[in-house]
Structure 1
Amino acid sequence: MEALLNEWLWQERYWLPPGMHWEDMEAKEGPGEGRYPLPRDLFYSLPVAFAFITFRHVFERAIAVPLGKRLGVKDRIRIRAAPVPKLETFYEQNSRQPSQSEVAFLGKQCGLSQTQVLTWFRHRRNQDRPTNTKKFCEASWRFFFYLVAFTAGLGSLLDTPWLWDCTACWHGFPRQHVSDVHSWYYILELGFYLSLLLCVSVDVKRKDFKEQVIHHIATIFLIGFSYCGNYVRVGTLVMLVHDSSDFLLESAKMFHYADWTRTCDSLFVVFALVFLVTRLVVFPFRLIHTTMITFVDFFHPFLGYYIFNILLLVLQALHIFWAYLILRMVYKFAFKGKVERDERSDEESEADEDEQPEDDGGGGERRKGAIKPGPASLANNCVLNNLTNQRSLNSRLPKAR
């Protein structure tokens, strides 16, 4: 296996600039100067990913659930579908949204009218929708990790020259030593995204599910490739830029689920500004520029150069997609006073949902009364809902039970 990997995967022309050899990456220049990154270091990310999954399970139940209750997160009351075995079998094995002919056929089999069959499927779908508590727990876990990762990453990079001057990323490349803190920064980030990919089937499913999976896969390949090719310096900057806005988004989600509208709106505005600046300005014009343009001033392009930049461009395309959603929703709200539909709601969201909120005692920042257009109701008008899995603004008022 090792010989096969050396022959097909670890060829020097794939990973290193012309004239460089793997032996050069194994040379030591003295004690206390760090070491070169080795591909085998990344195997630590596998147990780290499973450790994250275990810790997340404990975190959500021991910290996130009690925190949600203190903030006032309420789960909506949903009408449970009556037990009808034939309909349940069709729901599980065929489709959650039967066609008109299938509704008529099922109605004849079960002795129900078409309206009753449609109502049963609506109630059954709503049973599978994630509760506010589940979504709050997911947002809390991601907020915790992104905040810790951004704080620790920024602290480890403050005294590095490449944080302030991107050309320093290529001084001595690829024979650049990596410190233990940056090596573990890589392993923890890779382990976290592996855990997200492993849990993607049980997490809240959004309409941009495919984009999220592509993002996770591209990030995993980017982290792994950049570490093996010793693009660690620019890689730490890429991770720092991403974490800088992610924890703001997750905190806005948390307050959204708790109906703290003013706090949610304020955090969303800050997130939108940070996201647009970091993902549409800093990332392309500083980081991608240094990997595509500045790099050529030091070395001739090789295969690894093209692979690395293609992965960065995939991430940038996703940034543009999400920025477009944000800007379009803000535009609709600012110039039309409303948002016509939810761009990133749950995949199972429906306009005829029959869930009802529990009785809410209210509060200084809690939502009250009808939704009104205005600067203080951004979240209620689905500007934040595009990033927090809520239903469309045009959904009907809850039915009387």
Structure 2
Amino acid sequence: MLQTVSEWLWWERLWLPENVSWSDLEDSEGRVYAKASQLYAALPCALCMLLVRYLFERYLAAPLADVWEIRDRVRLTAAPNPVLENYFCKRVHPRVESNWIVSLLSQADVTSLCKKTSWPERRVQVWFRRRRNQERPGLRKRFCEASWRCVFYFFAFVYGVLALYDKPWFYNLKEVWAGFPKQSMLPSQYWYYLLEMGFYSSLLLSLTFDVKRKDFKEQVIHHIATLTLLSFSWISNYIRIGTLVMAVHDSADILLEGAKVLNYAKWHRTANAMFVVFTFLFMLTRLVIFPFWLIHCTWVYPLEEFAPFFGYYFFNVMLLVLQMLHFYWAVLISRMLYKCIFSKLEGDDRSDAEEDDSDSPMERNHKSSHINGSGARGRANGH
């Protein structure tokens, strides 16, 4: 049965154009082609990425945080209470990404807990806010994580440009399909793919202990779609367009993570300026270049060379999944830019804000309304 599934999975008519077989993509006459077995190297590469990240955050990012005096906010711990702790672990902790802890508690829940603990309502709410804050990552962790991503995207983008700048398909997208799929793999392409696949695999492995944001599910979809695209493009020799897609994505992400780093360091004006540039670059690369150049290249130009097949549709559908995520993030970025220009922006719009255990929900709403209406220029640190 497994052999039947394997034969179907590797059926040539699924992944290759008509009159092309896997035997045509075997090394010969000085040509070297990408092989599915080479993808196994992505896992050890991901583990190496996690190790490099750990060393970077501990010996570079953390000392830099000390130099810029980036410290975690002093948090009041919740008093031990078995009843509330049991309720928090069962009903609240699995939904830890929500904005306000009180919003997870109905009035009936609060009343019931007050009876069980003999505590007043105000004290129960304060306990949950303090307990919730204990689950939130500190400012230093956010700084170290943003620093690592910024450095990776910078070096990945620079490497991508160096690997592409002298290639004809970098300037003429029709060259992407010249001689497809019999296109020899270049060493620079191999290492570029390995670097990117190792990085995104490491992000999936580290999701459980990374800063959890509102778009957690979208991030998971993005990472899986990216790895699926990279794997498929590698096996089916869509490598040329794959390297272009990676370079386009990395370009804006450098500024995103850089703006976060500067914001955590309290360089707010510089962070604001970088965020504005990031917004422009994101809209240009993800909403203009990606759909109207790259997806057009994969949707229209191949039909001039061969008839459509399953792999052609599969690849384009996965690109459209990424494009839908781009639209989603574009909305969040636009909201962030509006707050940055016309009001006071506090932190990452995708992240949970730390709650003040002295404020009631009504007081927090009043403060929020006052801040948003003050017209103070905000702080930008990403979408």
Q: Same fold (TM over 0.5)?
A: yes
In structure 2, the residue matched to 1:327 is 334
Confirm or deny: 8 A CA contact 2:110 2:124 kept in the other structure: yes
Report deviation, 1:133. Answer: 0.2
Q: Are residues 1:48 and 2:45 paired?
A: yes
Superposition pairs of residues 261-272 of structure 1, within 5 angstroms: 261-272=268-279
Cα distance, 1:179–1:386 mapped onto 2, change above 3 Å = closer
Cα distance, 1:148–1:5 mapped onto 2, change above 3 Å = farther
Q: Are residues 1:38 and 2:38 paired?
A: no
Cα distance, 1:51–1:58 mapped onto 2, change above 3 Å = same
**Whole-Å separation in 1 of the counterparts to 2:303 and 2:344:** 46
Q: Are residues 1:259 and 2:266 paired?
A: yes
Q: Deviations over 1:229-281 (max 9, x none)?
A: 10000000000000011111001000111111011111111111111111111
Q: Are residues 1:373 and 2:375 paired?
A: yes
Q: Deviations over 1:40-70 (max 9, x none)?
A: 1100001111111122112111111111121
Report deviation, 1:227. Answer: 0.5
Structure 1 or 2: more helix by fraction: 2
Report deviation, 1:27. Answer: 4.1
Superposition pairs of residues 149-164 of structure 1, within 5 angstroms: 149-164=156-171
Report deviation, 1:339. Answer: 6.4
Of 230, 233, 237, the match for 2:240:
233
In structure 2, the residue matched to 1:172 is 179
Cα distance, 1:331–1:55 mapped onto 2, change above 3 Å = closer
In structure 1, the residue matched to 2:302 is 295
Cα distance, 1:171–1:354 mapped onto 2, change above 3 Å = farther
Report deviation, 1:333. Answer: 5.7
TM-score (norm 1): 0.85
TM-score (norm 2): 0.88
Of 300, 317, 325, the match for 2:324:
317
Name structure 2 gaps, 5 residues minimum: 94-103, 360-370
Confirm or deny: 8 A CA contact 1:338 1:373 kept in the other structure: yes
Report deviation, 1:145. Answer: 0.8
Cα distance, 1:125–1:339 mapped onto 2, change above 3 Å = same
**Whole-Å separation in 2 of the counterparts to 1:216 and 1:298:** 31
Q: Are residues 1:90 and 2:77 paired?
A: no
Report deviation, 1:86. Answer: 2.2
Confirm or deny: 8 A CA contact 2:126 2:357 kept in the other structure: no
In structure 2, the residue matched to 1:360 is none
Question: Which amino acid counterpart does residue 261 of structure 1 have in structure 2?
Answer: H
Question: Which amino acid counterpart does residue 16 of structure 1 have in structure 2?
Answer: L
**Whole-Å separation in 2 of the counterparts to 1:105 and 1:114:** 10
Q: Are residues 1:338 and 2:346 paired?
A: no
Of 64, 67, 73, the match for 2:64:
67
In structure 2, the residue matched to 1:128 is 135
Q: What is the DSSP-based 3-state SS (H/G/I as helix, E as strand, rest coil) of the residue aligned with 1:314?
A: helix
Confirm or deny: 8 A CA contact 2:129 2:355 kept in the other structure: no
Q: Are residues 1:24 and 2:29 paired?
A: no
Cα distance, 1:144–1:25 mapped onto 2, change above 3 Å = same
- Aligned-residue RMSD, C-alpha: 2.2
Cα distance, 1:268–1:354 mapped onto 2, change above 3 Å = farther
Instruction: Tell me whether 134-143 or 98-107 shows the greater mean CA deviation.
Output: 98-107
Confirm or deny: 8 A CA contact 1:79 1:354 kept in the other structure: no
Confirm or deny: 8 A CA contact 1:18 1:300 kept in the other structure: yes
Confirm or deny: 8 A CA contact 1:15 1:303 kept in the other structure: yes
Q: Deviations over 1:271-311 (max 9, x none)?
A: 11111111111111110001001111111110000000001
Of 208, 211, 219, the match for 1:201:
208
Question: Which amino acid counterpart does residue 282 of structure 1 have in structure 2?
Answer: I
Q: Are residues 1:307 and 2:310 paired?
A: no
**Whole-Å separation in 2 of the counterparts to 1:134 and 1:340:** 20
The aligned length equals: 361
Instruction: Tell me whether 70-79 or 193-202 shows the greater mean CA deviation.
Output: 70-79
Question: Which amino acid counterpart does residue 8 of structure 2 have in structure 1?
Answer: W
Cα distance, 1:5–1:50 mapped onto 2, change above 3 Å = farther
Q: What is the DSSP-based 3-state SS (H/G/I as helix, E as strand, rest coil) of the residue aligned with 2:212?
A: coil
**Whole-Å separation in 2 of the counterparts to 1:300 and 1:205:** 44
**Whole-Å separation in 1 of the counterparts to 2:354 and 2:144:** 23
Question: Which amino acid counterpart does residue 92 of structure 1 have in structure 2?
Answer: C
Report deviation, 1:101. Answer: 2.2
Percent identity over the alignment is 47
Q: What is the DSSP-based 3-state SS (H/G/I as helix, E as strand, rest coil) of the residue aligned with 2:92?
A: coil
Confirm or deny: 8 A CA contact 2:36 2:235 kept in the other structure: yes
**Whole-Å separation in 1 of the counterparts to 2:145 and 2:59:** 13
In structure 1, the residue matched to 2:221 is 214
Cα distance, 1:20–1:2 mapped onto 2, change above 3 Å = farther
Confirm or deny: 8 A CA contact 1:78 1:354 kept in the other structure: no
Question: Which amino acid counterpart does residue 40 of structure 2 have in structure 1?
Answer: F
Q: Deviations over 1:55-98 (max 9, x none)?
A: 21121111111111212323212211111122112211222543
Q: What is the DSSP-based 3-state SS (H/G/I as helix, E as strand, rest coil) of the residue aligned with 2:45?
A: helix
**Whole-Å separation in 1 of the counterparts to 2:22 and 2:137:** 50
